[in-house]
């Protein structure tokens, strides 16, 4: 029991924004205020993302959390999450990965390529859009298959952010609640088996097998 007779949290929701952070009206920010005990990753530089710096900050936040986490990531935050070192990945019990970015489509994001495509050692859901300007739905589907994630494709949902009309986004919140319930309903959570999911010769880094990219249309963003 914690102070005042309250039980410690079973899992902690962890908000992981993408490039340029998520503003006050973004569903990530709105959910952070609704979810008891939620944590939010605070990167030092949102405009010029460095893979090493972003992943280090994310890993530190996870390792310092009072309980294992359920990642709630958007865009580049999804890609940072799959770059996690093995030690931090062990403390992730589930992840909602929304509108993952394609770091090869923008020069400022190239440091996050190639995207690791080993199976994730925890339950995950990838949500993508049929007309996301930052990642083709086919590539998001390839991510999901490689990561062993459930895949949900939304019709014409853009980048699933404020600009595409997704404020509170009730559907996404229901998906998160479902993920969290599957964690908290278990009286004793068995640590996920990460054997083979990471490169044993490099415990601080994911195994480097990049996702197969679908054929790209001959046009820019």
- 157, part of any domain: yes
CATH at 166:
3.40.50.1820
- 152, part of any domain: yes
User: Domain limits at 127?
Assistant: 9-184
Mean pLDDT calculated for residue range 85-102: 98
Per DSSP bridges, beta strands 39-40 and 92-98 are unpaired
Mean pLDDT of the chain: 85
Distance CA 210, CA 143 (A): 10
Q: Are 126 and 151 in contact (CB under 8 A)?
A: yes
- 170, part of any domain: yes
- 60, part of any domain: yes
Q: pLDDT-based confidence at 162, cuts 50/70/90? A: confident
In order, the DSSP letters of 175-200 are HHHHHHHHHHTSSSPPPP--TTTB-T
- 36, part of any domain: yes
Overall pTM surpassing 0.85 (yes/no): no
Q: Are 39 and 65 in contact (CB under 8 A)?
A: yes
- 202, part of any domain: no
Q: Is the pLDDT of residue 178 over 90?
A: yes
- 93, part of any domain: yes
Q: How many CA atoms lie within 13 A of 65 on its CB side?
A: 29
Distance CA 107, CA 158 (A): 21
- 209, part of any domain: no
108-152 residue pLDDT tens = 999 999 999 999 999 999 999 999 999 999 999 999 999 999 999
Q: Are 213 and 139 in contact (CB under 8 A)?
A: yes
Q: Is the pLDDT of residue 32 over 60?
A: yes
Q: In what order do the strands lie in the sheet with 123-129?
A: 39-40, 12-16, 69-74, 92-98, 123-129, 150-154
Q: pLDDT-based confidence at 219, cuts 50/70/90? A: very low
Q: Are 48 and 108 in contact (CB under 8 A)?
A: yes
The total number of structural domains that make up the chain? 1
Kindly state the helix (H) or strand (E) to which residue 80 belongs, with its residue range: helix 76-82
pLDDT at 163: 80
Q: Which residues contact 12 (CB under 8 A, 6 or more apart)?
A: 37, 38, 39, 65, 66, 67, 68, 69, 70
Q: Is the pLDDT of residue 105 over 60?
A: yes
């Amino acid at each position: 029991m914690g102070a005042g007779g309250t039980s410690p949290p079973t899992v902690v929701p962890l908000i992981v924004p993408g490039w340029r952070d998520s503003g006050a009206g973004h569903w990530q920010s709105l959910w952070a205020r609704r979810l008891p005990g939620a944590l939010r990753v605070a990167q030092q530089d949102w405009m010029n993302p460095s893979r090493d710096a972003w992943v280090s900050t994310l890993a530190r936040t996870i390792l310092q959390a009072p309980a294992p986490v359920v990642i709630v990531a958007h865009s580049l935050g999804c890609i940072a999450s799959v770059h996690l070192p093995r030690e931090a990945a062990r403390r992730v019990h589930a992840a909602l990965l929304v509108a993952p970015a394609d770091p090869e489509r923008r020069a400022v994001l190239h440091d996050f390529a190639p995207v690791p495509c080993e199976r994730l050692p925890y339950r995950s859901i990838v949500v993508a859009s049929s007309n996301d300007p930052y990642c083709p739905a086919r590539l998001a589907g390839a991510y999901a298959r490689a990561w062993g994630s459930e895949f949900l494709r939304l019709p014409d949902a853009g980048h699933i952010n404020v600009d595409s009309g997704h404020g509170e986004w009730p559907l996404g919140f229901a998906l998160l609640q479902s993920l969290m319930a599957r964690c908290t309903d278990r009286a004793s959570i068995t640590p996920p088996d990460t054997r083979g999911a990471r490169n044993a010769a490099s415990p601080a880094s994911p195994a480097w097998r990049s996702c197969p990219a679908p054929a790209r249309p001959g046009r820019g963003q």
